[in-house]
Structure 1
Amino acid sequence: MIERHRDTYDEGAPMHALVHDPDAPQGLRIAEVGEPRPGPAQALVRVSAVSLNFGEIAFQAGVPGAVVGFDAAGVVERSAADGSGPAEGTRVATFGWSQGWAELRAVDTEDIAVVPDSVDLGEASTLPVAGVTALQALRRLGSVIGRRVLVTGASGGVGRYAVQLAALAGAEVVASVGGPHRAEGLRELGAAEIVFGPEKLSAPVHGVLDNVGGAQLAQAFGHLEAGGILIAIGMAAKEHTLIDFETERSRGPLKRIEPFIVDTPFGPDLDYLLRLVESDRLAPQVGWRGSWEKAAEAAEALLGRRVRGKAVLDLSG
């Protein structure tokens, strides 16, 4: 029996959704749940496509039977009662901390952006977490014009957006990946240099956008120039970081690490990213796409580092 959140779902109207199930492959299964009941400042969206993020798959936790998923794109079925947000029939990309991977999603209008007609909804679904994270983390570095910026885990969802956005901002981008097979397409996205691990850097960097954590974070920190900043975004390595600060003191220059937490609301940044996509200045990176009935297969490929960019699930067609 699926446990439902009675303050969120209407028991009388069933729909299908991907739910958390610790006993299912990759912790996901399609189940019947109640339709969401939107709050006054929420739109009800008919979902067409969703995208997976490494973190939400690798570090799943929660109530068995709960609807999961951060990113979803679709069409507004019912506009918000308070008059905010897009009208019915509008194509949108959405973000929420859960309940996105379902036929219908109730979502705060401040976390919605309109998808231009020329942009595919599946590609739009890759932007909320990965795109907004890359954009906000890059801002934390300040001006990067003419400066070297290292992106670790550059072949992942956040990484491929970070490479493009840093290049657009005028940085000399160094992309760090696990091997040649993960480097495909990164130069075309704006990487000036590709290395197989931060220890292979040819020269210091002003900023680091780290998606890996663990030993790579420590290595990258050691290659910062005076005044440099490392933004710790993710933990794809699934290991803690140990930094030898005695060694770092001997290197002399002042530098710092900042833990990254994405800031809400998502709507304005998501709108900006969609306009970049519309104008062909930002390329959505879809490395796997298929039916949501293959969610476990997509999740396994993502965790196994076999997806360059994002994995997208289509709910129909």
Structure 2
Amino acid sequence: MRGSRHESQQAVPWPRKAEDPHKPQPHKNAEIGAKGTSVFTWDAPGPRGLSNLGHPPSKTSPSELSIYTRNMVSTRSHPQEFPPQDVNQVGSQTPSKRSLSTVTPSTSQPDFQGRNNNQKPWSHTPSLLTLTWLCISMPLVIWDSFYVLLRPHSMPGGKYQKPLWVPYELYGQVDHIYGWPAYNSGNGFTAAQTGMNVVEIVGYVYYLYLLYTRGRTEDVQGTGAPDKQQVGKLAQSRTVYGEAAAKAVVLLYGVALMTLSKTVLYWLNEVFSGFANIGHNDASSIFFLWALPNGMWILFPAYLVYVSGKEILQGLEIAVNSSKKSQ
């Protein structure tokens, strides 16, 4: 039966290319290939699609057929045999965890300390002009607050009026909110704004504490400072870094905004009351004794709000960029 099937398969021979008569013909017996591998070759043409590979003889034992099949797979289009594969390793293969994992955004905090990429830590650098204003305004606000809290003893005729609060005798005549009319009528606006003054003083003191205990003086132009050629040493700065810098700039922004808002409210109170407390003065007295000194508490706090707010925005940009890089 095998012989008849083989003969039927070779009934229609497949056309072959003309061979070179001088080319040596392969032997019909087994040859020893690379690395001792048996390679079987035959002159007879194979079936359709395998004319260049040869076809095994019909009378082949199962062991020889297995060797033939293995060698055909291992030597076809490959110079060497494939290495043997571990059976235990085949069964233990699992899908890669990398393909199943999902990218989750980083929940780490922004790096204000400069630990990543060897960068300098984020810093807060107020100009010396800012520090000079705080050193001038804070004693004046403390002086004003004690005057209000010690009324009537700090007012004209009181036991504490001289020598500390003698100038308030004139100012109380210009602005009745600080004089006897407001005190006798029980006007609470004066004491209310003094309560905000106390909060401001505490905030500014802690701000300066952070600067002088955590910072250092640098010969650079501070944030928002005027040109060095115009103000000289006033453009120098004191710098604080890292987490202390973040606390300092937020504190400065909040307290300066409180000072600005309180002073604007102080002015608006006069406008919407028909200038009930300063309307009895002439224009010159109002400008030099009321508008000019009180205007300083609008100009400089607005400056502090601007420069500290700008630094806060820069810090937020750093935080956003740090989060994007860590994803």
Q: What TM-score results when the alignment is normalised by the length of structure 1?
A: 0.22
Q: Which has the higher strand share?
A: 1
Higher CA-based Rg: 2
Report the TM-score, using the length of structure 2 for normalisation: 0.21
